[in-house]
Structure 1
């Protein structure tokens, strides 16, 4: 079955054996009747005579009947936790909210194709109940959610609720994409990342090429802080451009330090969403 034209399929994986209960695509260390050889067990512990291994049984010093044990592939929960504060409404080469919607559409479609459940948690100063999507295996939920996100009005002055999003993830280990521009205090970034340590976390940093400086080389420009709404006039010049670019690099370095300490590998999206770039993140 082919994906809708608007959906880009991506491919992800987790670094540890899946612990789910539903059959799926991901390697697991559970089950007795899968297709991946895991080891041997006594027939009493794994009562399936179809898997009887005569050679292993003859070698057993206690004379037990030995069977081969095969792991079953399992499904996992996939959740996208999104920053929906006002800064995510920035429009440069592309509007960040549209990039987020493209990501949601692609990830939900890919999870459905893989046999995984998909959920969404959107946060500004509170968890947004109007876009909250509990884990589901229903087809087409990502497309509907993406349409809602494209028309959403972002007015939150902070993304403090990101640090509470883990309460909506459940106990089972999930693959979590934390999508934000991370223009929030570094202490909040640390708290948010640490709160999701139980899960396989992928921080996704959404930045835009025009976010850290207008395209013009010099002149009077109007800039607006999307979080506070404060507008200022600046005389844009090469020296100021260099200062802003240096601030961008300092921010990137600070985020990388936090991610490194928490042993998570970030994905930077600077411009349009690219499903192939997400796939490469898991296979590089």
Structure 2
């Protein structure tokens, strides 16, 4: 994990549920910032390994992890995974004290965010939907961007805590707004990666030195994070890292489902989603989203 400085802050008892490629370093930043962290993971050995690495505690269920915590963070796979760690006899909601706040960093649907926010309120709890952007490197470096939806007073309480692993934590509206903002983010990325793929493939066909070309146009209006960070690896045909195609298809599925509900027209996003399906059919499920260029070679 990259060394970073943490702003002085009151130590809080917190929990973190889900120790995947994002959750493990995020929980680590909380511990290094001085918070008292208890973790839970479906695979118990991961919880034990995290606790050994960071000196925190591990618990066998979400309920036990959440007991006594002021804030319970989660980063799991999808809507059903999120329900499994929040509701039910062993869910976090059953163990949280009145007034505690659940912060969900899963990229999930706006509908489940609203559903769980309502369930939390019935128990005297608060729920903030807070999907992140920045990928695994952003989590490792403590430089994620967090998009939040929920109660403003609860947000003010969790913002300084979440800054342990983030460079920006922003409230964008009521419950579900964070998830909707993450959908906007993914729409932008899908279009950018497809445009970059076409541009590089075109330049290669034209016989250009594409690294030199990107070095020039990357200083002008075409510049983007994707160009700076993925353009060179796309040219080198390297995709064994980053944000997996399977994850992007999951996210674009959420986007397209929401568009059906709100009437938004997303012709390019729908097309890029199908292009990603082609990459999956070629066996590229776990490759970075920039592997989209393989369709054009």
State the TM bucket, normalised to the shorter chain: 0.3 to 0.5
- TM-score under structure 1 normalisation? 0.36
Structure that is richer in strand per residue: 1
Structure that is richer in helix per residue: 2
- TM-score under structure 2 normalisation? 0.35
Q: Which of 1 and 2 has higher RCO (CA within 8 Å, sep 6+)?
A: 1
